[in-house]
Each structure stands twice: as structure tokens, then as C-alpha cells.
Amino acid sequence: LTTRIGGDAANAWQILYRAAARQKAGEDVVILAVGDPDFDTPQSIVDTAVTSLLAGDTHYADVVGDVELRSIIAERHSKATGLNVDQDQVVVMNGAQCALYAAAQCILEPGSEIIIPEPMYTTYAALVGATGAKVVNVPMRPENGFQVLPEDIEAAISDKTRAILLNSPSNPTGAMLPRDTLVAIARLCQQHDLWLISDEVYSTVSYGKEHISPCGLPGMAERTITINSLSKSHAMTGWRLGWVVGPTALTEHLGNLALCMLFGSPTFIQEAAKKALTSELPELDAMKQAYRLRRDTLYSHLQKIDGIHCHLPEAGMFLMVDIRSTGLSSQAFAELLLDQFDVAALPGHAFGPSGEGHIRLSLAVPEEELIKASKRLAACIEHLRQSPEAQDQGQA
Ligand code: PMP
Ligand code: GLN
């Protein structure tokens, strides 16, 4: 077996697997460990896929994606960014995960470095590792609202740096990068001739603040690789439909990779994606409102608990809770919370050192479950206050 594919990204999900097994066995466990929308895919999208299948759309598709779908994506991207993008600058992939993996393969190689602010999404380390390149992390500190400081990025640039990867809105913190930070990072990319990978899968789940795609900043279109998908925006995680938008040299390279890696995405799913991206779907507004309500409800319940502090997410479907006052490591706290209080949350260390001392709660469950979870979390904190010996066993 190769050593490039490895790392402990998968370990983070052990809490989820344990909780899911208990829930399946009939136990009352609240699972806030995963960001998989609990909404159904809008019916008209499902109907389109079924119609397409019944009509015989079961053959190989264009390797880089159906041309009509790529045009639709190009048009939407142009509208959102002010750029003038055409379908040749779009490659359809099986979800943003696949797109991230493929983009990394196209621009990184053994010996090169990519700068990624952390806390970061759990799969980044492994997808970079698979290229033989190295992740250089810079911290986004909780004290600073989990924002990245451009000077930290600048200090991390070396002669091996090839790229910077940004994820705004962020999984896990829900923080969005403001324009001045993006402008400063864009300047660094141009000064040091770097690629910018922009993972924007939560761009539509914002609670008011404007999402800014860095590719639209001056001088960035030719060096930005924008990645998005239908997973979160349309509650379509299981459909595996995402895409890359970038300069033609990059998308041609990606096309070569797609030829030996994917050979195209399923045709009937691409038909459904066209429907998703060209329809006015009231379900999407309802989903957004539900996430907002859940965020506000969970935040207000958690704020009443002495001894923890929570970060109000500006976007996305997660909320980070600072549990440092308990003295426990995030792993010990998450295990205690699951084993004795029946709530599954991901330990913050899974996202990088700046996530330590936090747990990540998902908003992808009904409001009643969030209220139940916050009561159990309060009981867990109270238990720790009354039994300091539990703290001694799980020191951070
Ligand atoms: N990037 C981030 C930040 C994510 O949280 C996820 C998982 N939702 C992905 C990429 C992968 O998304 P997809 O389902 O489109 O592969
Ligand atoms: N992106 C989602 C999360 O962070 C789901 C990822 C997964 O199931 N691997 O929870």
C-alpha cells in the first residue's frame, strides 16, 4: 500500500459511527456530528432524474460534463462574479470532494506546499497528501472570530508554495472571509504567483452577509479554482454533483484527469442538476429559513449555559462551542458527551490545532433535536462542575 493515502482524517468520524450504531439499535441519541442536510431533495429535481432515466439516459456522458449543464454553471458563475466565463472553463465532477481531489492533482506534486488556514475541513490533509505535497497550516484563532490574518499567510509562503486553499463560508466555524482579507490574499497570490483554490460549498447558506468569490477580484480569474456543488445548496449530498470553474489551461488539464479518473458523471444526474440550477425552487428558501431559525435557537439555548462560549456562525450548517473552561480535551469531552449524555458532536481537534478546545455541532437536524441536545450539553457541563475527577481524567 502507498503511504500517501493515510492520515487520521477518518478517525474523526468514529464518534459519528458509534452514535449511528446506537441510534440504529433504538437508543435516543442526538446526532449533531455530520453536516448532511436532513431535507429531501426538491421533488421536481427528483422527478427530472426519474424521467431522464426512464427516457434511457443511461449512457456515457461527455467526460468534462454535459455541455448544456456547463453553460448553465458558467452563466451562473458569470452573474455571481461579474466575470465572463464560458462552458470550457467548467468541469463537472462527482461532488466538491472529487473536484477538490482532482484540482489538487492538477497543481500540486511531491515537494510542493499548499497553505491552508485551520480549523479546516477534515478531508483536506488527505487529499493534499495524496499528491505528495505538504499542507502548511496557518491558524484562525477563536479569539479572532476564526478569521485568517493575511500576514500569517504571508509568513507561511516559501519557495515551495504553489497554492492557497480557502473555504469561505467555513466548515467547521461558519466564518466568512471579508473583502479586505480576500483582497490581501489575492495580492499575495499575484506577488508570489500562486493558485487559489476556493471551496465555496456553503456559499448559499449565509445568514445575511454577502458571499464573495475571490475569483472576481482583479487579477484573480486566471489563478483561481472555484469549487462548488449541489450537496448543501439543494440538499443533494447523495447525488454527488459538483464542479470546478477555472482558467481554460487548468480545465483542459482537469479534462485529461477526468478522462482517466471518472469518464463523466451520470447523465440522468446531470439532467437533474440542470433542473436544480435553472428553476425557482421555494424549497430552497424554506431550507435557508430553517437553518437560520435553528442557528438562532441553538445559539440562544447554548448562551444560557455557564462555562461554555459559542461562536455565532455567519453561514453554513455548523456551530463551534468553546469548552476550554472544562479543562477537557475536545476528544475527551466529545466522548463523555456521547457516552453519558447521548449527544454526538465532532471534537474540534479533527479540524486542526485551532479547533482544539471546541466541539462542532451540526444544524442539519430538526429544531427539537437541537433543543434536546442543548439541555443534555448543559447537564454534561453541570456534571463536570460537580465531579472534578472526571476532568482530571481527560485533561486537555
Ligand atoms: N468542502 C467542504 C468544506 C465540505 O464541508 C464538504 C462536505 N460537505 C465538501 C467540500 C464536499 O462536498 P460534496 O458533497 O459536494 O462532495
Ligand atoms: N461535510 C460534512 C461534514 O463535515 C459531511 C462530510 C462527510 O460525511 N464525510 O460533516
- Are 390 and 384 in contact by the 8 Å Cβ rule? The answer is yes
**What distance in Å separates the CA atoms of residue 33 and residue 338, rounded to the nearest whole number?**
10
User: In the prediction, which pLDDT does 382 show?
Assistant: 96
Closest-lying ligand to the alpha carbon of 121? 1
Q: Ligand 2: distance of its center to the CA of 36 in Å? A: 7
Ligand 2 atom 3: residue of nearest CA:
35
- What's residue 386's pLDDT? 92
| Phi, psi of 243, deg, nearest 5 | -160, 165
Residues contacting 136, CB < 8 A, separation 6+: 113, 114, 115, 116, 156, 158, 161
Pocket residues: Cβ below 6 A from ligand 1: 35, 95-97, 121, 167, 171, 199, 201, 229, 231, 237, 242
Q: What is the mean pLDDT of residues 326-333?
A: 96
* 230-243: pLDDT as tens digits: 999 999 999 999 99
Query: What does the pLDDT read at residue 238?
Result: 98
Ligand 1 mutation target, pool 229, 241, 269, 351, most atoms within 8 A of CB? 229
Q: Pick the more confident residue, 22 or 4.
A: 22
Nearest ligand by distance to the CA of 345: 2
Query: Using N-to-C axis directions, what is the helix angle for 367-386 and 282-303, rounded to 10°?
Result: 20
| pTM beyond cutoff 0.80 | yes
Name the more confident of 5 and 176. Answer: 176
> Would you say residue 131 has pLDDT above 70?
yes
pLDDT of amino acid 2: 80
CA dist 368 and 345 (Å) reads 16
Residue 172 Cα: closest atom of ligand 2: 4
- As a whole number, mean pLDDT of residues 299-310 equals 96
What's the pLDDT at 395? 60
Q: Which residue has cell 442557528?
A: 295
The whole-number average pLDDT for the span 137-150 is 97
The ligand that comes nearest to the alpha carbon of residue 205 is 1
Q: Which mutation among 204, 231, 241, 262 tests ligand 1's pocket best, with the greatest number of atoms within 8 A of CB?
A: 231
- pLDDT higher than threshold 60 for residue 396: no
Q: What is the pLDDT of residue 9?
A: 63
Q: Mean per-residue pLDDT for 201-206?
A: 96
Distances (CA, A) of 323 to 11, 373, 396: 21, 15, 10
Cell of 394: 481527560
Ligand 1 atom closest to residue 94's alpha carbon, by position in its atom list: 16
Over residues 313-335, the mean pLDDT reads 97
Nearest partner of 163 among 120, 116, 219, judged by Cα: 116
By alpha-carbon position, which residue is closest to atom 8 of ligand 2? 34
Nearest CA-CA partner of 100 in 183, 14, 198: 198
How far does the centroid of ligand 1 lie from the alpha carbon of residue 347, in Å? Answer: 18
d(CA 74, CA 185): 24
Please tell me the distance from the alpha carbon of residue 322 to that of residue 306, in angstroms, as a whole number: 11
Distinct helix (H) and strand (E) counts, the chain: 13, 13
Confirm if 319 and 310 have CB atoms less than 8 A apart: yes
225: enclosing H helix or E strand: strand 224-229
Which of 295, 253, 260 is CA-nearest to residue 106?
253
Side-chain-side CA neighbours of residue 143 (13 Å):
2
SS3 content of the chain, % helix, strand, coil (to 5): 50, 15, 35
C-alpha angle 154-159-165 in degrees, rounded to nearest 5: 55
Residue 134 has pLDDT above 90, yes or no: yes
- Map out the domains of the chain with their CATH numbers: 9-40+282-387 (3.90.1150.10), 45-278 (3.40.640.10)
Please provide the average confidence, as pLDDT, over all residues in the chain: 95
Beta-strand relationship, 346-347 and 161-166: unpaired
Element (H or E) spanning 28, and its range?
Answer: none
Share of the chain above pLDDT 70, in %: 96
Residue-level pLDDT at 387 = 84
Distance CA 226, CA 213 (A): 8
What ligand has the least distance to the C-alpha of 92?
1
167: β partners: none
Quick: pLDDT tens for 346-394. Answer: 999 999 999 999 999 999 999 999 999 999 999 999 999 998 666 666 5
pLDDT per residue as tens digits for the range 4-13: 876 666 677 8
pLDDT of residue 8: 66
262, amino acid identity: L
d(CA 199, ligand 1 centre) in Å? 8
The pLDDT score that the predictor gives to residue 7 is 62
Mean pLDDT along residues 22-26: 97
What is the per-residue pLDDT for 391? 62
Contacts of 65 (CB under 8 A, 6+ apart): 90, 91, 92, 243, 264, 265, 270
- In this prediction, residues 98-120 reach a mean pLDDT of 98
Show the cell assigned to 343. Answer: 449527544
CA distance 206 to 331: 29
